[in-house]
Amino acid sequence: MKKIINTIGILLLAIALTAQPSDSWPIFRGDQNLKGVSKTVLPVAPKLLWTFTTGDNIKSSPVVDKSKVVIGSTDGFVYCLDLKGKLVWKFETGNAIEAPALILENAVYIGNLNGTLFALDLNSGKKLWEYETDNQIIGSANWWKEGNTTSILVGSYDYYLHCVDAKTGKVRWKYESDNFINGAAACSNGLAYFGGCDGFLHIVDIATGKLFKKIDVSTYVANSITVDNEKAYIGDYDGRFFQVDIKAGRTAWEWQHETTKLQFIASPALIDNRVLTANHNKFLYCFDKNTGKKHWEYNTGRQVEASPVVVNDKVVVANMRGDLAIVNLSDGKLVWSYEVGSQIINNPAVAGGRIYVGAYDGNVYCFGK
């Protein structure tokens, strides 16, 4: 009985640590598994509530937590806004920022093109520490907590996945891949999962930094993957989208457009038995996650690099013309759209009944009721 009680306690703790409130979007895909699913409810026809202008293009994705919106700009600053779009603080990093931020507890973790990972106080913007990699960081950091130790994991163009202590910034370990690491590492069950430009799915033990498994999957993975139940979902630069059976160490199914064969830059979203992704051929796709059967497709009208976000029975998607759209999860039919007028290349944050998105014109846009 004691063993059962302890097990229940561990499970409840895990749920508490990973649960994402409806008013929070603390990492660029919403959770540690990078599933791209928001728990909020959007209005039927969101209205533009406010905009905020940074000093240059925005390639980063916003994150939202504790009534604050955090985003990086290619002007080199990290901006923290309140929910009314007013500046709370900004912090200069010294080089352009393309990576999304991570908000964890009361800290912001974000990397820049110098290859520096910064930890900032969420409330004041004060620098807590900085950690240097040997090349640019363009992917989001992720996190994992084991006992009293919280680790921050981030990939770099120096070929390494870096693991540092969340409180001190001291390196715990570095795992070397065979090429650039563009995306974030998904973290689940004590393992970090990422696809690199070397074409492998790397699975690394977070406690030790040792390789758990390495699976040859493609030629070039420029995005982040998502994982669920020992399955990984990956899109590559050759236009293939596929499921990897991690236990078997092989691709279980794959899909590729008959003629276009253009790159997948967007990261997938995963909900129930559906997996969604978008391609440079302008289309948003919805597949059966178990078989790879295509349920539907939606033509956004322009190339897509921004990752889709699932919100209950709707999907939010943005394209490189600057169109922000909401379609039905069931059939891909358009229900709402807004023309920002400047390309959007990273996914929105969806929290508290609102959509937050950054565009190439340097503006952060907030839509809601």
Q: Is pLDDT at 12 greater than 70 in this prediction? A: no
Q: Is pLDDT at 6 greater than 70 in this prediction? A: no
pLDDT digit string (tens) for 137-160?
Answer: 999 999 999 999 999 999 999 999
Section 277-287 average pLDDT: 98
What is the per-residue pLDDT for 15? 40
Q: Is pLDDT at 4 greater than 60 in this prediction? A: no
Section 320-325 average pLDDT: 97
What is the per-residue pLDDT for 21? 72
What's at 316, amino acid-wise?
V
DSSP 290-351: TT--EEEEEE-SS---SPPEEETTEEEEE-TT-EEEEEETTT--EEEEEE-SS---SPPEEE
Residue 334: count other Cβ atoms within 10 Å of its Cβ.
12
Q: Can you name the residues that pair with 234 across neighbouring β-strands?
A: 242
DSSP 118-158: EEEETTT--EEEEEE-SS---S--EEEEETTEEEEEEE-TT
DSSP 230-284: TEEEEE-TTSEEEEEETTTTEEEEEEE-SS------SPPEEETTEEEEE-TTSEE
Q: In which band, very low, low, confident or very high, does the pLDDT at 102 lie, cut at 50, 70 and 90?
A: very high
What's at 288, amino acid-wise?
D
Q: Is pLDDT at 195 greater than 80 in this prediction? A: yes
- The answer to whether the beta carbons of residues 49 and 366 sit under 8 Å apart is yes
pLDDT digit string (tens) for 82-98?
Answer: 999 999 999 999 999 99
Burial class (CB in 10 A: 0-12, 13-18, 19+), 215: buried
β-pairing verdict for 226-228 and 211-216 = unpaired
Fold classification of 2-368 is Methylamine Dehydrogenase; Chain H (2.130.10)
Q: In which band, very low, low, confident or very high, does the pLDDT at 196 lie, cut at 50, 70 and 90?
A: confident
pLDDT digit string (tens) for 290-313?
Answer: 999 999 999 999 999 999 999 999
Q: Is pLDDT at 342 greater than 50 in this prediction? A: yes
Helix (H) and strand (E) counts in the chain:
1, 33
Q: In which band, very low, low, confident or very high, does the pLDDT at 20 lie, cut at 50, 70 and 90?
A: low
Q: In which band, very low, low, confident or very high, does the pLDDT at 43 lie, cut at 50, 70 and 90?
A: very high
* Distance (Å, whole) CA 114 – CA 200: 25
Q: Is pLDDT at 8 greater than 70 in this prediction? A: no
Q: Among 20-29, 262-271, 318-327, which is the least confidently predicted range?
A: 20-29
